Structure 1
């Protein structure tokens, strides 16, 4: 078997750390013209090329090298990108020693907005082996997507060994995901932790404390809503965010 393009491994362990996000962004689309502008915005800002740039940035931020990227755009919208990465080579060895780490992203634009509210979802997974920790980019990603609701899972699988040969099933002091949030995230979001630490499973859900209609109304400069309409819209948006946060269907659907 040819060894061309193969990566040499040393000091390798199979402790795998997987960090997964679901970002939910809500936009109000007032009319068909605005809906078309919104579709164009999604295709321009969340296409495979843009997402590849984002994953490349994440890879470098956590101390990795890009090995290869596979990407795909979909019709009428949406995209997927997978990036294979290695840990950065150490100066004394010049050998990369991870070949089983990856980043991937999938986008899910809303094809059927309800009550003129479109929900855009983006899922990201960072799966690393060895010393790289995906937790380093939590705040960067939260800031990048500026989402109304965020669902985060962190799971550690496999094992490694210490210098005495003892098995280790976790190699850091993770207690809860929210410990990694910076002050800005903590002030902008309410969050709820649900952990099974004995199984190395951690889960946190976030919802924006206050959602400004300036961020929610798409093409707001072209839309003129009365104070009463704005008040009703704010209530509607708050209800939508709450339903995403607690994963409860709308009352109208429940009946």
Structure 2
């Protein structure tokens, strides 16, 4: 088994580096043994030098998201002298932007996470998604950037919350053949309607897993393939009737589905 040791060093929270590392390690399925240590809010050369020395001792890769030039210089100099392996995710791009624009960077750690208008818009969107989740109040459809439709276990709520984290106001509605659609749905412009669908066999597996996790028997209609096929057919009929854009979620991460939906928005 191959092991990967990584040190995340940041003068902020280190979240950016964590996301990039996760994406990179996903390309190495055989590297299942990883030791990732995060060192956030590093603001002086002495602390940074000690962390780098520990990384060298442990033969770790240092992943840095530092914006302070003195700290970046310390990292670069230490690595040049010792042969420490490191990746600097911030400095090259900052330098390129500076050279192209002529603007001087603020070198302000955590600038991305400041409580600005974008932050409050995101919080508002998350609150909106919670309030109008699962068809709780159809009156929210009129205020939504997207209304997500689909039968049970097509990832309506996770997708709504992910889009909310990107400041979109999203409501969602479960489609059940025996339950009439709310009249408010027919007033939503078709380009804002997103229909989620998946292969019935996949939905069956997810529903059975859900029932097992709750300690319930999977012999109910909820986990019956014929019933699921009926639900899928009903949902796709509704999508066609309303003119909803259809997104297949089979083996697709929430992030991928969200990217497709954002692409649809860009076209209207």
Same fold (TM over 0.5): no
Q: Whose radius of gyration is greater, 1 or 2?
A: 2
Bigger fraction of residues in strand = 1
Bigger fraction of residues in helix = 2
Q: Structure 1 length as normaliser, TM-score?
A: 0.25
Bigger RCO (CA 8 Å, 6+ sep): 1
Q: Structure 2 length as normaliser, TM-score?
A: 0.24
